[in-house]
Structure 1
Amino acid sequence: IVFVLIWKQIGLATLFGYGVLLLLVPLQLIFSKQFGKNRKNTVLWSDKRVKVINEILVGCQIVKMYRWEEALENIVYDARQNEFRSIRKASRIRAINMGISFASLPLISLAVFGGSWLMGHVLTAANIFTILSFLGNLRYPVTIGLPYAIEKLSESRIASKRINQFMNLYQQTEKLKDNKGISGNIIMNKASFTWSSSESIELNDIDLNISNGSLIGIIGSTGSSKFMVKTQVAYVSQIPWIFAGTIRENILFCQSFDEEKYARVLKASQLFTDLRSFVAGDLTIIGEKGVNFSGEQKARVSLARTLYTDADIYLFDDPLAAVDRSVAQKIFKECISNKGIIKTKTRLLVTHQIQFLTEFDHCILLNNGQIEKQGSPEDLLSIEHIAKSYENQQFHTDETKTRTDSINDYSSKQQIDKTSIVKDEISINGTVSIKIWSKLFTIAYGWIGLIFLIFLMLIGEGIYDTTNKWLSIWSSQAPHEQRQHRYAYVYLGLVIGTWIISLIRADYFFYLILRGASALHNRMFKGVLYTSLIFYESNPVGRVLNRFSKDQQAIDELLPLTFYDTIQSLIMVLGSIVIIGMANPWVLLILVPIIPIFFWLRRYYLRTSRSLKRLESVTRSPIYALCSSSLNGLMTIRAFHMENEFLNTFIDKINANTRANFLFGCTGRWFGIRLDLM
């Protein structure tokens, strides 16, 4: 439609302008291919940087103990520097696109009006500014919309390939079935086990015939792979997995609350004494990985979680290793032994504490992935080194300490934990401090660099407006005056100058803001790295990773593009107002009602959109935290068959984040429609 309308105005000269316009399309495709390569490299370096930061957050106590901060700081800085180089290459392509976008209208105008001038046509103000209006309609979709779409398409392709790697992972859906329909029985005949088909066999030629309700002891030297005899039932891992939440939530583990059963489990796992020491009792919030609990307390919470689960087979992977001997004896007696609360269930205890050997119904001795001997406790005590270890542990066993745990002296009704070590993430109100913006732009070259940037922005707009003004002067001349070459040469020089200055200022702007973003990243990382352990204990890993991943990506890639587009549009509007005021000052009277309405809408929009954007960031952190925590406790989640519950929780958090993101997008559309109506 635009082609036809311009053709009616100047005829064949339209082809010159469209020729320049069509040259931009293959140019964008070339840029897209290069941008895809740079984006792929950027993602790889970002992954490496975030991975190192994640390892620092997970192992913060070790890092502090051995004073590895400086060495790890250099590793992260090197990864950030490589990431910066990759982003810088991509930003150059963005700068070229932004420069072409800004200078596209003068370039196309040069081709159209230059071709018309060469063909001997007379330039009139009516034709020129009508054509400029039509070409302005083509400017956004071809020079702004198309590059943006191609860039996002490249990012989407890379992201989809990365996601597809996870989507194609093997999913284990088979369930173990009880032999002969008798629940609690375990029968194996020459069974061998390995982690994957490409790895060596960990357990070889295992023969087992365990009847329901038996207590089985599995012992052996360290590294004999005894921990691999696992059935997907109720499981206590050797390293307790604790997620961020209350003690009760960790014990119930997505199950319904039965107060009587819950109290029995607390007593058996020796937790009453600990709960009475907390103001909030079992509503005390445990930090991620149980940072505010001792190793013994975490082991007993993990044990209570298993005891609360109604299962036919219970596997205890050396849970007594983390507690002292006296507590271990009481836990064994009240939980695991044939006098415990699950005495009718099949129990497999993997342990090094063979002082309980005589309590087992059946014993299995593993050595180098094979059963060396199995039978009654007396059969194993006939082995010299087993008998010697048994006598040694019996000699060193302390007397059982008296603990006054009673069901009657504990109430499950507790007050909410108001002194939780885990602090809720809150959204900060108000605008971004001017100091933050000044640091962002001055941290690279100081205030001189910022002043030079302002100069480039103003000189670019000045040349752009001068180009249009010169075109107006050229068209106002008599036909014979228009044929003079000086008008065409000046116009050509102004268009080339507009294009060059637009490229320089866009590239300099992106470089300046990227340097500032890297400096802010390094300061943020240094603050996190050298802070006290209280920070790590009160903030989940996912929350901190959200700052170094998604938020940092927004500063690196989204902020420069959006900020540059905003400043450029603002300067172009001001330049247009100046040109219009010079031509007809009375037209500016329309600004008297428009400007107050604009600022009122802007104030209303910014308050809403700023809050929604911060809400979107706050609701994103729990997603990272849940993913990090779930991966650490994947074995426990699968053992308890809680995959669907955690998936539903994950979907709920995704939906909460999506709602905030959707509303943020709606506010932008709301503001845009009202500006169009104005």
Structure 2
Amino acid sequence: MAPHNEILDSATNLMFEALDESTDSQYLSLSTSRNAKRSPTRVSFDDTPQDKENPLNTANLLSVVTMWWIHPLLLRGYASPLDETCVWDLPTSDQARPLQEKFDKFYVHTRKSGAKRPNVNRAIWESVKQTWGVAFVLHLASAGSMLFQPFIIKAILQNLQDEANSLGISSGYALAVLLGCVAFSGATTVSAGQFLTTRVACNARMIVINSAFRKILRLSATARRTMDTGEIVTFVGVDSDRVLSAYKLGMWCVVAPLMLVAVCVLIGTQMGVIVTLVVSASMLLLIHGALAMSRTIGVYRRQISRISAHRLKVTNEMLQGIRVVKFYGWEGFVNELIHDIREKEVALLCKYNRLRLANTALMFLAPTLLNLVCFSTAVLLGGTLDVATTFVVLALTNACRTPFSVFADASVAVAEAATSTSRLSDFLAAGESAHSIDADERSGDTPIISLEDADFQWEEHASTPTIANVNLTLQRGTLTVVVGAVGSGKSSLVNAILGEMQQVRGTRVVRGDVAGHQCPDEDPNKPSQAVVVVRGDTKEPDAKKTSSGKLVTQEDRLVGAVSLHTYVDYLAASEWNGWHLCGAIVLLFSVAQVALFFSDWFLSQWSQGSVSLSQTNSLAIYVGIVVGAALLVLGRCVFFMEICMACSVNIHWKHLRNVIAAPITTFFDVTPIGRVLNRFSRDLDEVDNPLPYSALWLLLCVFQVLSSFIVCAAVNPFVLLIYGPVGFGCWFAAKVYQSSARELKRLDGVTRSPFLNLMSETISGIETVRAFKMVDAFAARSETLLNDNMKNYFLLQTAARWFDMRTDWFVSLIIGVVALLAVATKSSVGAAVAGLSLTYASQLSSSFQRMTTLSTRVESCMTCFERIAHYGSLDEEGYTRTASNKDSLSVDWPRTGAVVFENVSM
């Protein structure tokens, strides 16, 4: 090695030993030990049990559309709680390997297109666009049925007034049956479409997570210097969910504007061109406001993601070094450090959630505001209101409720996903480790390692190479010693051979397997077991890669429904009385909903001519009612969101403090780090973001649905006769669904931890994984764990769509019965009151489904709170404990600690 003495010129020894192993494989051990000829242990991951085949693989079209294929699983979950052995595997086309192959094909194409940064969004879209297209058609069919219902209602009202209708159907009963059938078909198509969008979303999430893990296996040392574990955990735990939400809701960014345009056109056919133009302008203002807020929300989301990644990085470092933290008594300091980061995160979360609150209130009030604009314009133009026209317009604007509300969610989800995929694109475009391996050439004259005129550098755009003009050749069975001073480039040379540095010139050829490690301090001639066993294997008992050392306990999983006390405990985390808050929330939401109903009731009386006031005075009263109702709606939303933000602050502070204070032997020695990170990353993100927002929308929908049921029953008490059977059917469907859904959600949380453990340990031991040629094995293991996790989430979302479809069928029955009763009792029930009941009944088809979907979402988020709250029961030690008997100690007991040496000889 004389030619390289200008780089390596002093007294520290580094040895390269080329070893001729068995004919099956060769290993080149970069070692300080001359006798380290033992090959690294090959680890097998083939001990994962096979799951049952998913019946969706062979289901017929009718079974897929009605989701009948999932019945056996739901009935089994209703009979007894589901566990890992009961859950079907993913459908073949939805598993990690085929999805990744499809994505890689399109991603390679985007890289060849010459773009500076390959577009991950484009590659994901190309992978799922066919299924998305079918879902889009189903959503359009559902939108058509929703917009057709107001005209059937108008025809029924005209029939009640003995007038001709535009549909040409003279029988009121036929119109009532038609209304029920249209509602039924719309419910079926929208649920089937949502199942397909959910499937697409699951596929997108799988691609993001699997691509991120595969990139970790290839990431260069230079690129790793610019990232940390927190950022990568954010990709997997948070950004993947952002992409999932975007593909799940993003279709409404297209469907909702199309529906709104159609509503404007249809209103124009009823009230004239000028009213249509004014309503269209109002819709554009509402949409512009929603989009503007969505862009700002996306900016806040990017800032929150950076701070969350930093918090997770510090949390991970604390967990990795918890023994040192406790030895030096740094628990309080570390807790304050993480808490300070969390305060910055919460400050942004408050701004973020207040913007989402404004978006929510605006979209929820949009139909009411459009009614105000529409009828005000008509009256100011000198027009008069009649019952049929009033209620068809009222029904059309109410049909906008779903597009407006979901459009707000969809625009926010797409904006957040754009941030996440931008970060992912940067990550996937980062530098990769270079490996030139030709394992087939093993003749005696072929070098094991060959570097010719090679230059290497750590930074991609460095002005000068770190090591330059390297010429090195190692033959089999030879020993080469490299001598150099500290800082002269020996470690860089090792990393260059391992492919961890940027090669800017020359050639590099490495044949066989390559490993590198430092010499153990205690005995340089005795190899250590830690050298030849991948670090992830020693820290990952959950993956069953070792036959001993089973200290890790299985993760706890609660069984059964989320109790009412769990919800009260969540509210109590705000440091207010949970039960008192429940009462205040019910009161505020009830008062606001009564005000909204009163605006519709006044409109019905006004259109019937029952209000003995001038048109101008009636309009002024109507405007006052709408403004008052809007203020009440905004007030209840602000109150609820502030309570939720206070809960988020205290939940993190309390439970992180408990974790830091937990004993080493009974908690940290038996709990994988990935499990703890999972609860302070994805679970906490669920509590911070989706839970307040979803719970707010759920409350809005619940009180809206209750008002619809009450109005229908008040107008025609005979409707109560159908409430009983329908209520029982909905209750039974809910029991069947929730029995399986809550266990699938908990299994989703439990099966996520092993993957995060694998990812965390892979990041820590990536050089060893590559050196021992375990990259493919770890990639296969990650796919197995991803499939095990995603199958629970996929079935959970499919079960939700199954439940939505069944409840919508029951709601369609109610709509049909309300219409039939309106026709049957037309002599005793006025057209205006019947129109009010029909309009409120038609709202049920969208509001009830959204309510059931949101209730599932909220319960799922509450299981995340349950998992975090589990840390509230941990034993404590150290800085959080004080002596309880301090005052009762005798006066002779030492009050301060001291160590004294007297006459000591050493």
| TM-score normalized with structure 1 length | 0.70
Which residue in 1 is equivalent to 2:299? 37
Matched, 1:65 2:195: no
User: What RMSD over aligned residues (CA atoms) do the two structures have, in Å?
Assistant: 3.3
CA distance in 1, matches of 2:755, 2:572: 34
Matched, 1:140 2:140: no
Letter in 2 for 1:528: V
Task: Please say which of residues 645-654 and 628-637 is displaced more in the overlay.
Answer: 645-654
CA distance in 2, matches of 1:44, 1:61: 28
Which residue among 759, 762, 778 is the counterpart of 1:646?
778
- TM-superposed CA distance for 1:571, in Å, is 0.9
Which residue in 2 is equivalent to 1:319? 519
Which residue among 704, 707, 714 is the counterpart of 1:572?
704
Summarize the Cα distance change of 1:538–1:468 in structure 2 as closer, same or farther, 3 Å threshold.
Answer: same
Unaligned runs of 5+ in 2: 1-261, 500-510, 532-543, 811-906
- TM-superposed CA distance for 1:450, in Å, is 4.4
Summarize the Cα distance change of 1:314–1:184 in structure 2 as closer, same or farther, 3 Å threshold.
Answer: farther
Letter in 1 for 2:680: F
Summarize the Cα distance change of 1:229–1:182 in structure 2 as closer, same or farther, 3 Å threshold.
Answer: farther
Summarize the Cα distance change of 1:319–1:586 in structure 2 as closer, same or farther, 3 Å threshold.
Answer: same
Aligned runs of 1:585-604 on 2, under 5 Å? Answer: 585-604=717-736
- TM-superposed CA distance for 1:551, in Å, is 1.0
Matched, 1:7 2:207: no
Which residue among 553, 557, 561 is the counterpart of 1:431?
561
CA distance in 2, matches of 1:319, 1:228: 17
- TM-superposed CA distance for 1:606, in Å, is 1.1
CA distance in 2, matches of 1:438, 1:488: 43
Letter in 2 for 1:161: S
Which residue in 1 is equivalent to 2:633? 502
Matched, 1:666 2:866: no
Which residue in 2 is equivalent to 1:526? 657
CA distance in 1, matches of 2:702, 2:517: 66
Q: Deviations over 1:121-156 (max 9, x none)?
A: 332333322221121112211x21221121011111
Contact in 1 for aligned 2:360/2:408 (Cα 8 Å): no
Summarize the Cα distance change of 1:33–1:204 in structure 2 as closer, same or farther, 3 Å threshold.
Answer: closer
- TM-superposed CA distance for 1:164, in Å, is 0.8
Aligned runs of 1:185-264 on 2, under 5 Å? Answer: 185=448, 194-196=457-459, 198=462, 210-216=474-480, 226-230=490-494
Letter in 1 for 2:591: I
Aligned runs of 1:157-196 on 2, under 5 Å? Answer: 157-175=418-436, 182-183=445-446, 185=448, 194-196=457-459
Whose RCO is larger (CA < 8 A, sep 6+)? Answer: 2
Summarize the Cα distance change of 1:642–1:66 in structure 2 as closer, same or farther, 3 Å threshold.
Answer: same
Summarize the Cα distance change of 1:175–1:416 in structure 2 as closer, same or farther, 3 Å threshold.
Answer: closer
Summarize the Cα distance change of 1:513–1:176 in structure 2 as closer, same or farther, 3 Å threshold.
Answer: same
- TM-superposed CA distance for 1:569, in Å, is 1.0
Which residue in 2 is equivalent to 1:551? 683
CA distance in 2, matches of 1:161, 1:3: 36
Which residue in 1 is equivalent to 2:32? none
Which residue in 2 is equivalent to 1:455? 587
Q: Deviations over 1:87-118 (max 9, x none)?
A: 11121121112212222222111112222222
Letter in 1 for 2:733: L
Contact in 2 for aligned 1:441/1:512 (Cα 8 Å): yes
Aligned runs of 1:72-91 on 2, under 5 Å? Answer: 72-91=334-353
SS in 2 for 1:230: helix
Contact in 2 for aligned 1:453/1:505 (Cα 8 Å): yes
The alignment covers a number of residue pairs equal to: 519
Which residue in 2 is equivalent to 1:295? none
Contact in 2 for aligned 1:233/1:640 (Cα 8 Å): no
Matched, 1:513 2:774: no
Q: Deviations over 1:168-199 (max 9, x none)?
A: 11223441568997356556678775544638
CA distance in 2, matches of 1:316, 1:41: 39
Larger radius of gyration: 1
Matched, 1:122 2:384: yes
Summarize the Cα distance change of 1:639–1:462 in structure 2 as closer, same or farther, 3 Å threshold.
Answer: same
Letter in 1 for 2:477: G
Which residue in 2 is equivalent to 1:607? 739
CA distance in 1, matches of 2:452, 2:727: 84
CA distance in 1, matches of 2:548, 2:768: 29
Contact in 1 for aligned 2:516/2:771 (Cα 8 Å): no
Summarize the Cα distance change of 1:202–1:130 in structure 2 as closer, same or farther, 3 Å threshold.
Answer: closer
Summarize the Cα distance change of 1:675–1:632 in structure 2 as closer, same or farther, 3 Å threshold.
Answer: same
Letter in 2 for 1:23: L
Summarize the Cα distance change of 1:672–1:331 in structure 2 as closer, same or farther, 3 Å threshold.
Answer: closer
Which residue in 2 is equivalent to 1:466? 598
Q: Deviations over 1:401-429 (max 9, x none)?
A: xxxxxxxxxxxxx9996972012335321
- TM-superposed CA distance for 1:200, in Å, is 7.5
Matched, 1:487 2:618: yes
CA distance in 1, matches of 2:426, 2:373: 48
CA distance in 2, matches of 1:127, 1:108: 15
Letter in 1 for 2:623: L
CA distance in 2, matches of 1:432, 1:151: 28
Contact in 1 for aligned 2:571/2:643 (Cα 8 Å): yes
Summarize the Cα distance change of 1:2–1:234 in structure 2 as closer, same or farther, 3 Å threshold.
Answer: closer
Unaligned runs of 5+ in 1: 236-310, 337-413
Q: Deviations over 1:312-357 (max 9, x none)?
A: 6876644342x4x5xx66659x9x9xxxxxxxxxxxxxxxxxxxxx
SS in 2 for 1:446: coil
Letter in 1 for 2:400: L
Contact in 1 for aligned 2:456/2:466 (Cα 8 Å): yes
Which residue among 601, 608, 619 is the counterpart of 1:476?
608
Contact in 1 for aligned 2:447/2:473 (Cα 8 Å): no
Summarize the Cα distance change of 1:620–1:209 in structure 2 as closer, same or farther, 3 Å threshold.
Answer: closer
CA distance in 2, matches of 1:231, 1:10: 76
Contact in 2 for aligned 1:187/1:209 (Cα 8 Å): yes
Letter in 2 for 1:491: Y
Contact in 2 for aligned 1:179/1:187 (Cα 8 Å): no
Which residue in 2 is equivalent to 1:51? 313
- TM-superposed CA distance for 1:456, in Å, is 1.9
Contact in 1 for aligned 2:361/2:633 (Cα 8 Å): yes
CA distance in 2, matches of 1:587, 1:613: 36
SS in 2 for 1:319: coil
- TM-superposed CA distance for 1:636, in Å, is 0.9
Letter in 2 for 1:7: G
Which residue in 1 is equivalent to 2:186? none
Which residue in 2 is equivalent to 1:583? 715
CA distance in 1, matches of 2:770, 2:290: 48
Contact in 1 for aligned 2:572/2:647 (Cα 8 Å): yes
Q: Deviations over 1:495-547 (max 9, x none)?
A: 11122222222222122112112211222211111111132222222221111
Which residue in 2 is equivalent to 1:398? none
- TM-superposed CA distance for 1:583, in Å, is 2.3
- TM-superposed CA distance for 1:596, in Å, is 0.9
Which residue in 2 is equivalent to 1:301? none
Letter in 2 for 1:164: S
Matched, 1:655 2:787: yes
Which residue in 2 is equivalent to 1:276? none
SS in 1 for 2:272: helix
Contact in 2 for aligned 1:227/1:317 (Cα 8 Å): no
Matched, 1:446 2:708: no
CA distance in 1, matches of 2:615, 2:464: 87
Contact in 1 for aligned 2:513/2:773 (Cα 8 Å): no
